[in-house]
Structure 1
Amino acid sequence: MTNALAEAYSTAIRGMANNAPRALVRRALIEAEDLDPSLDASEDRMREYVAAAATDDPLRRALHLNIARWDNAPEDGNPWTNQTSANTEERRATIIAALGLSELTAKEFAQHFPISHQCGPTVIASPWDPWYSDEIRRDRAFYWTHYENYLREDRGWSEGSIHDLDRATNHVVERLIDPARPKPGRTKGLVVGYVQSGKTANFAGVIAKAIDAGYRLIIVMTGTTNMLREQTQRRLDMELVGRENVLRGADESDETVRQRVDYLDDEDWAKGRFVSHGVRPSEVGRPDIHRMTTRDFDYRKLQQGLPALEFERRDGTKPLWHPDNLYTSDARLIIVKKNSSVLNNMVKDLKTTGDRLADIPALIIDDESDQASINTTDPKTWTAENKKRTAINRHISNLINMLPRAQYVGYTATPFANVFVDPHDAEDIFPKHYLIALERPLGYMGASDFHDMDSSIPDNEKTFANSAEKAHLRIPDERNKNKDAEDERQLQNALDSFVLAGAIKLFRQEIAPEKYTRAFRHHTMLVHETMRTDGHRSRADAIRDKWRTSGYLTGSALSRLRTLYTEDFAPVTDALKFGDPMPGSFDELAPHVSRAARQIAPNGAPVLIVNSEKDIEQEELDFDKRPVWRILVGGNKLARGFTVEGLTVTYYSRNAGHAEALMQMGRWFGFRPGYRDLVRLFITTPVRDALEAACWDEEDFRAELRQYAAMVNGRPTVTPEDVQPLVSRHGLRPTAPNKMRNAELVERRTLSKEPSSGYPAINNQALLDANIDACIPLLQAAETSVQFPTTGRPFDALTGLVTQEQMVEVLKKLTWKDPKHFAADLAWIATLPHEVVREWQIVMPQQKNRTKVNIRGVGKYSIHGRVIDPNGHIRGNADSLHRTACDLQVAATEHIGFVLLYPVIDKTATEEEIADDGYPQGVVMALSLRLPRAAAPKDRNPLLYRVKNRAMPKYAIVDTD
């Protein structure tokens, strides 16, 4: 196929963007007729071209992106779907038929454009007025189109990832108020991502689409540090604002311009990596973006420059929001850190502008919205006339209230504080209109890449291939009673790992420079042990001393590095199979070791201290202006939102007071293109366990949201205000605020139940024994030995059936650490009649080659190791393999529930501690329940509440003291 015909097909497929699929070949023939009537535009030629084309070919990309959109299109409002479910074979067949393509082409497309198994964001929302139509998205997509192209061309995003971002940002933008609507209105929402998972990319996409749609005042509030604000400013300037808006018509070769434009000494600016729109947007009828802040300067009081905040209006007799003015006016972008004086200056300037604030469509992005934004004052100090607020919360409240068309969107990876905000405080930031949980993006390294969160594999059977912890975590040897010597050994191992990983990066870069050079621009190690600055200095000195005696340049380190390579790095890379090249032997890698060491420590200085101290004589940490190959020692400045570029090795032993803080310290989460196999995390066992517990809190929160996100006839059945999702607690408290709910849950009517760490403490043997006695009917029923089928490896299990009445009786006898923990679940299960749940199948997974214990003389059973949280409660979650197997069985049945039953014990217990003639101390009977589809509530409402304080029926949170 010629380039001309490829262009014809590309034009035809793009012409259907955001619309229903139509006859592709016929449309391509029409386009080809204009290009070259003699060309063969047959489907066969197109199919041959797609089969041979590279993945970045424009036609392949256009096909991939649009097919992915059609695959995922909702049934409601799209009659062409023929009511086929999104991302299914039936939907794909409908698309192929609508495109008029043959079975041969369908098979070719299935190979190159597989159906995505990403299910999209989880959305809980109040009813809204749909306004963000396909026509708006198509006809006004200026900044979004350029941002999309930037991600594709400069960041190397796949079409699938771009589609996922397009879909997720649509969910946010469509829930804002139409900026051209005569009646003003505010919305408040929350977007929940993962730590270091690309939240900035999401809100950059939201800003692009919002400006295209007509929002003209964009305020982005970052965290509380200059480093994070500067990083966010540069990122948005580079990827969204673009060269033309930075220069504003100035000639960058002019010396006076060079002194006032902030990126002219930036390597990425010089190499053309800042997005270019090709023309100043206002010259083609699109809005310019006026930056009210720069990379080096936060918001300053404008004084005589107030007109800079006043918006252009073509027709002075009409308000700014009127279409005659809105689409010909420019946008203002303000990026500020959450600092009281900075926000105060901005609020004062807005109050004194010449524009009516009620006319300005404004978008407020609150990044790290659980930091500083939450009102943490003591409710006991409030009065009816004066609800005291913290300074930042007060400024945000004032900002929202003074802008009647303000749309507030909070972004965070740790949302627990946000969902505890009083939803009926009209001036606060509770996300009353929508709560969107983003899906885990492709290529992201998160909790499951570092923790064996629900693995049933015994420790002695774990390998680099089947254990994330074994592959990436390095934990001190607790058998070594000399703690100082063990710490010294760990630090040496961490430094060796950092140098060795750097050498492997240099090897890969030499093999494929076009693939790895940009990915390996930065190579960093993070040492995070304390927030105290004097501790940073002493640790930095210790690392420098260790570096000087490590022998990376003299060759004396080669023996240690050879052992580390052959016993750790080479087998881990081989087991993980990410496809990145490795040397055939350490000898092939050895020449790169000294090169890596020299890059890490030019002039013998491998360490940068990153904290608030001003008197440290060292180079500045600036990932934008120069490559950084260094060991970074710091505390809070390197946490919460700040991206540590190229982070490969982390040495972390700092404790945290609550799960939110611990998760935000997790800079090792994120994207590691080309070096996922090289990432190492050096942590202690208590920190590992606390972090894993925090990860479970997060996963449970997301699971709760997914269960509450049901839609009926395209409208939500549950809103954020109704839900007030229950935040579980596996270890540390979820967040610092301590507030009580006024809504008391009566029934939780969800089809999966994972009581998790709600069991009695392991030192309360009497209650544990009582729970074992309660479960005897289940043990007696599970007498048949089977090999349970799964989509992966099958597993051995004991199984049997009990009636609904027997199951309810067992659940009623169980005791929990909090009497309310399972009460709402049991209240609902007990109401289910026999015709809905006829019986329950008990499934007790059994492990080979493990000691089995005798429980009450009923039989001998495998005992499963689980993590104990800091409060002495075991985390009894089911293994994901076993859950998946039961889910498949539930889907194939109509009226049978499934119960995974595990006797669990502290995972650190040795075989010797597990008695053969009776169960040991601390055994917990853990359950995971899966109810049949017939049990789904007819009204689709998963939660039933009653008010605790009837004098305040509309308040979800009240001070009950």
Structure 2
Amino acid sequence: MINIDPIKIIRQLLNGKSSVTMEEVENAVDVFLKMNLPIADSREMLIRKVDELFTIRQDEWRSIVKEEENEPWLSDKRASIDFTNGFWGNYRQYLEEDKGFAPEVVNKLDLLTDSILDNLFDPTLKIKVNKKGLVVGQVQSGKTANYTGLICKGADAGFGLIIVMAGIHNNLRSQTQIRIDESFLGFDTQHTRAFNQQSIKIGVGKPSYGKSNVAHSLTSSLEKGDFTQGAANALGLNFDTNEPIIAVIKKNPHVLRRIYQWLSAQADDTVLGRIIRSKSLLLIDDEADNASINISNDPTRQSSINGWITQILDLFGKNAYVGYTATPFANIFIPLNDQNLFPRNFIKNIPAPSNYVGPEKIFGFSPLVENQTSDTVLPIVTRIRDYANFVPDRHKMADQLPSALPESLKKAIRCFILTCAIRRLRGQTTVHNSMLVHVSRFVRWQDHITELVSNQFIYYRRGIDQNDRGIINELKSTFLEDNLDYKSYVSVSQQILDSDLRNLDSQIQVHQWSDVLIHLNDAASKIEVKSIHGGSGEALDYFDHKNGLSVIAVGGNKLSRGLTLEGLTVSYYLRASKMYDTLMQMGRWFGYRGGYVDLCRLFTSRELNEWFCHITQASEELREEFDYMSDVAGSTPEQYALRVRTHPGVLQISATNKMRSAITVQISWAGRLVESYEFKKDIPIINGNFKTAQNFISSLPNGSTIKPNGYVWYDIPAAQILNFFEGIQSVENLKKAEPRKLIHFINAQLRNGELTKWRVALMSKPKVVNNSLFQIGNTEVPVGQWRRTEDDKNSNEHYYYLRKSHIISPSDEFIDFTDIEKLQAMELTNLRRKKPGLASYPNGQVVRNELRDPKKPLLLIYLLDPEESLVKYPLPLGTNPFVGYAISFPKSNFNAPVSYAVNEELLDKFDVVEEDFEDYEDD
């Protein structure tokens, strides 16, 4: 039977459009249905799936670039590069048609890869040049797809040799090679030498992808297909070919030494040593924070892997190094030199698409209490309590092995069987399904636990096959019944449908047990249990299972960093690390879960749940700092690294393996402009905030200063400001401007004698129809409401999000200044200005850090007109205005950042052992 992809056909009927109306979607679906092809989806479901695809959004990436070394070249050269019929054109079509990427995501990837390539260099020029950059994404968010796009464009532009360093384990290297085979090479490298290449075309190599582009691979997707000189020489390849050559290798000193020696033999002798001048090198470093960085304590020596990487780069007169990571903590703390691979030329921060299920959706920024619901956190975490006798937190390799599984792991296995059955019920019959069991780093323990898990699964499978009433009832109870710390499938699906997360997946629905029961046997019969480690001999061979692999994978390090577990739904995780990056990278459950987001489950400890919340907060604040720096003219990667280390207002993470005190993450708003930019469309909250603003303004003393667009008060005590913020309710994920955090920061600064005398501006738009009455002094006056454009990509029927996240106009920040002060601000702005010409208004950063008194911040209050501002998602006429605010914080002479700390007592509950970069498998 031919496997029909209705969404692919409907997209073709929509003629490749990037945006469509609902009417166009419905018409395309109706045309498709007239074809009478055999499909399982109803008309309504097809419309929901297509509409979901076209509503996926992705924010703009942010860049920090060292401009003095940046020489843009792509615009001038683009006309001579055939991206459309080249590797990129085929890859773009592959993403849209075979991988089902949303139109906006593909468009953003196109622009991003252009931007990265432009920050590198024209590979066809006869010059000596080296560039280093870093691209920061999120765990399991699609970095491989991202750098594959760069590889395709790099090959089209003329990079002759591309090396991809993919992790430190064979399985990740092999998985990456498979993706390069499908997305770049177009053929299966496992069989290239044994069969006619024409018979094994895959991915972009299929005839439907137009022009056939030729590239050569020095490595294969076999588990042991890493680079060897013998295999490279056996290809009979002329190194000076004009066709691109690629190698996907492990970050292993033996492999790196071998490829260096082979490349050195291709080099020419020059006065500077042996140099390859005939090719430009593009070196992609996947998981760039792992193993690549120089970790030697001796400043005169390089650690092994780092040394070989820099030697390979130095072999080429034209070389580009681009690192990719989701956890850049290590990269921004390394010494600022080329030897240490510091990304001196650029850093790019890529936001994940809206359908990405990341740490903020799984954990949030603080642990949920029992029975608490959230509009922003999925109810899929089950906190377990019964593992102490199974795998103690600090167990050793030789400790007594457990004799039985805890009830929580038995329940997790039942959940996996149920999830596989429900996916079949939803028509997802040829998909991969994975369950992760990650509880120990010791191979002896992993093998034993695999045996216990296998025995328990066989017990369930036989019971299902024989229709054993007791086992069927256990599964039914897991599907239907809630209990302490566990929510049933019915409850989870319904809770998501009742929250703002319901649009995350069009296929979320509550099923009947009788419908699930029918699919249990087929689902269970496909499931395998595998132990995945260096000596097990087993692999997650998804590629060889065209009709879907269902697997319970038990392992440790090999199941963590970088490896994608296809269709991962159920995770049982107890491995702890004190390192932020290590722990976050072990979270294989992040990623895209279209069609089954409500079927996912994570079983972990309460302590780990709390730990992940803190890391989520730390990661978000690091990204916020990046966004702030990217807005500052002239910022460079070096300045970002130094600012992260030393700036009083920025993320500061202590090295956890060198301390016995609390882990702290600190952030300050000194010298910053803080703005509210997202509002909840909840009438009681809108009314409550409006009343709070009216009460606050009426409490201010007589004698306000009238300005053309507002009223200003001077020397207001901080206590009154704190009372205002105590009464304001905001969106719970309004990270930078959340009132509770601001209160904490203000109190910290007050202890140092700062932020004591506030200036308050009630902004009033003149000559408007809609205004609100406020008591100012002894008079009731109309205050004009402001129109702030709704960002239709981030806004919906529940949230009003401001376009570009700004509530203020540029000149508003100086409403409290006298004419003389404004003149001084303009002179200082033009003095500090890096661009030619004169500024139109003072620069806020200059004013905050050089002119504002540390005791005298400015609070601006805005009334936002819902009638004028909301177009796509309006509120009823007569609704009170939204109350927004901005604070212009002056610099601080004392630095009293807000500190987010993990309880010191938790440290002993985590393994002391960190990832060992030198613990490589046999080569």
Give the TM interval when normalised to the shorter protein. Answer: 0.5 to 0.7
Gaps of 5+ in 1: 1-5, 18-45, 59-110, 313-328, 510-515, 601-605, 739-744, 755-775, 816-825, 842-879, 901-928, 938-961
CA distance in structure 1 between the partners assigned to 2:560 and 2:178 by the alignment? 19
Query: Which residue in 1 is equivalent to 2:362?
Result: 450
Equivalent runs, 1:700-715 vs 2, <5 Å: 700-710=621-631, 712=633
Equivalent runs, 1:459-858 vs 2, <5 Å: 459=369, 462-463=372-373, 466=375, 468=377, 471-477=379-385, 488-509=406-427, 516-518=428-430, 521-550=431-460, 551-553=463-465, 554-567=468-481, 568-577=488-497, 578-580=505-507, 582=509, 584-600=511-527, 606-614=528-536, 620-626=539-545, 627-710=548-631, 712=633, 716-721=634-639, 723-726=641-644, 733=655, 749-752=671-674, 778-779=718-719, 782=722, 788=728, 811-813=749-751, 838-839=759-760
Q: From 294, 298, 312, give the equivalent of 2:226.
A: 298
CA distance in structure 2 between the partners assigned to 1:497 and 1:623 by the alignment? 21
Query: Which residue in 2 is equivalent to 1:416?
Result: 329
CA distance in structure 2 between the partners assigned to 1:202 and 1:134 by the alignment? 24
CA distance in structure 2 between the partners assigned to 1:598 and 1:358 by the alignment? 57
CA distance in structure 1 between the partners assigned to 2:749 and 2:718 by the alignment? 11
**Amino acid paired to 2:28:** A
CA distance in structure 2 between the partners assigned to 1:412 and 1:628 by the alignment? 28
Deviations 1:96-152 (A, max 9, x none): xxxxxxxxxxxxxxx999898643112111111111117617842011111000001
Q: Give 3-state SS (helix, strand or coil) of 1:190's partner.
A: strand
Q: Give 3-state SS (helix, strand or coil) of 2:616's partner.
A: helix
**Most deviating of 146-155 and 776-785:** 776-785
CA distance in structure 1 between the partners assigned to 2:178 and 2:541 by the alignment? 12
CA distance in structure 1 between the partners assigned to 2:739 and 2:593 by the alignment? 43
Equivalent runs, 1:41-56 vs 2, <5 Å: 50=24, 53-54=27-28
| Structure 1 residue 449, shift from structure 2 partner | 1.6
CA distance in structure 2 between the partners assigned to 1:532 and 1:454 by the alignment? 31
CA distance in structure 2 between the partners assigned to 1:307 and 1:736 by the alignment? 51
Q: From 269, 275, 296, give the equivalent of 1:377.
A: 296
**Amino acid paired to 1:450:** I
Residues 262 and 295 of structure 1 are in contact (CA less than 8 Å); yes or no, is this contact kept in structure 2?
Answer: no
Equivalent runs, 1:51-62 vs 2, <5 Å: 53-54=27-28
| Structure 1 residue 541, shift from structure 2 partner | 2.1
The alpha-carbon distance between structure 1 residues 537 and 397, as it changes in their structure 2 partners (threshold 3 A), is same
Query: Which residue in 1 is equivalent to 2:692?
Result: none
Deviations 1:463-511 (A, max 9, x none): 3x63626x110012489999999972211211111111111011111xx
Deviations 1:893-913 (A, max 9, x none): 64574599xxxxxxxxxxxxx
Q: Give 3-state SS (helix, strand or coil) of 1:410's partner.
A: strand
The alpha-carbon distance between structure 1 residues 840 and 404, as it changes in their structure 2 partners (threshold 3 A), is farther
Q: Give 3-state SS (helix, strand or coil) of 2:134's partner.
A: strand
Query: Which residue in 2 is equivalent to 1:402?
Result: 315
CA distance in structure 1 between the partners assigned to 2:123 and 2:456 by the alignment? 59
Residues 405 and 452 of structure 2 are in contact (CA less than 8 Å); yes or no, is this contact kept in structure 1?
Answer: no
Q: Give 3-state SS (helix, strand or coil) of 2:544's partner.
A: coil
Gaps of 5+ in 2: 1-10, 33-50, 269-274, 393-401, 482-487, 498-504, 661-666, 677-715, 763-797, 816-856, 862-883, 893-923
| Structure 1 residue 311, shift from structure 2 partner | 1.3
| Structure 1 residue 549, shift from structure 2 partner | 4.0
Deviations 1:223-266 (A, max 9, x none): 111111111111011111114x969xxxx9xxxx77256997xx
Q: Give 3-state SS (helix, strand or coil) of 1:344's partner.
A: helix
Aligned pairs, number: 670
| Structure 1 residue 365, shift from structure 2 partner | 0.4
**Amino acid paired to 1:295:** S
**Most deviating of 162-171 and 629-638:** 162-171
Q: Give 3-state SS (helix, strand or coil) of 1:405's partner.
A: strand
Deviations 1:171-193 (A, max 9, x none): 21111111123322110001111
Residues 668 and 745 of structure 2 are in contact (CA less than 8 Å); yes or no, is this contact kept in structure 1?
Answer: no
Residues 658 and 736 of structure 1 are in contact (CA less than 8 Å); yes or no, is this contact kept in structure 2?
Answer: no
Q: From 341, 346, 354, give the equivalent of 1:429.
A: 341
Query: What's the TM-score, normalizing by structure 1?
Result: 0.61
Q: Give 3-state SS (helix, strand or coil) of 1:124's partner.
A: strand
Residues 437 and 555 of structure 2 are in contact (CA less than 8 Å); yes or no, is this contact kept in structure 1?
Answer: yes
CA distance in structure 2 between the partners assigned to 1:47 and 1:679 by the alignment? 31
Equivalent runs, 1:10-21 vs 2, <5 Å: none
Matching of residue 208 in structure 1 with residue 143 in structure 2 = no
**Amino acid paired to 1:123:** S
Deviations 1:758-781 (A, max 9, x none): xxxxxxxxxxxxxxxxxx975566
Q: From 237, 262, 280, give the equivalent of 1:349.
A: 262
**Amino acid paired to 1:353:** Q
**Amino acid paired to 1:589:** V
**Amino acid paired to 1:703:** E
Residues 53 and 102 of structure 2 are in contact (CA less than 8 Å); yes or no, is this contact kept in structure 1?
Answer: no
**Amino acid paired to 1:641:** G
Query: Which residue in 2 is equivalent to 1:924?
Result: none
Equivalent runs, 1:329-344 vs 2, <5 Å: 329-344=242-257
**Amino acid paired to 2:530:** L
| Structure 1 residue 697, shift from structure 2 partner | 1.7
Equivalent runs, 1:99-498 vs 2, <5 Å: 118-127=58-67, 128-133=70-75, 136=78, 139-141=81-83, 142-243=86-187, 259-260=194-195, 273-276=203-206, 288-296=214-222, 297-302=225-230, 308=237, 310-312=239-241, 329-353=242-266, 357-379=276-298, 382=299, 387-423=300-336, 425-453=337-365, 459=369, 462-463=372-373, 466=375, 468=377, 471-477=379-385, 488-498=406-416
Deviations 1:904-958 (A, max 9, x none): xxxxxxxxxxxxxxxxxxxxxxxxx986469799xxxxxxxxxxxxxxxxxxxxx
Residues 340 and 391 of structure 1 are in contact (CA less than 8 Å); yes or no, is this contact kept in structure 2?
Answer: yes
The alpha-carbon distance between structure 1 residues 8 and 439, as it changes in their structure 2 partners (threshold 3 A), is closer
| Structure 1 residue 581, shift from structure 2 partner | 6.0
Query: Which residue in 1 is equivalent to 2:895?
Result: none
Sequence identity, in percent? 25
CA distance in structure 1 between the partners assigned to 2:115 and 2:226 by the alignment? 30
CA distance in structure 1 between the partners assigned to 2:738 and 2:312 by the alignment? 61
The alpha-carbon distance between structure 1 residues 246 and 891, as it changes in their structure 2 partners (threshold 3 A), is same
Residues 123 and 709 of structure 1 are in contact (CA less than 8 Å); yes or no, is this contact kept in structure 2?
Answer: yes
Q: Give 3-state SS (helix, strand or coil) of 2:59's partner.
A: coil
| Structure 1 residue 839, shift from structure 2 partner | 3.8
Residues 181 and 189 of structure 2 are in contact (CA less than 8 Å); yes or no, is this contact kept in structure 1?
Answer: yes
**Amino acid paired to 2:65:** A
The alpha-carbon distance between structure 1 residues 726 and 583, as it changes in their structure 2 partners (threshold 3 A), is closer
The alpha-carbon distance between structure 1 residues 548 and 780, as it changes in their structure 2 partners (threshold 3 A), is same
CA distance in structure 1 between the partners assigned to 2:725 and 2:746 by the alignment? 24
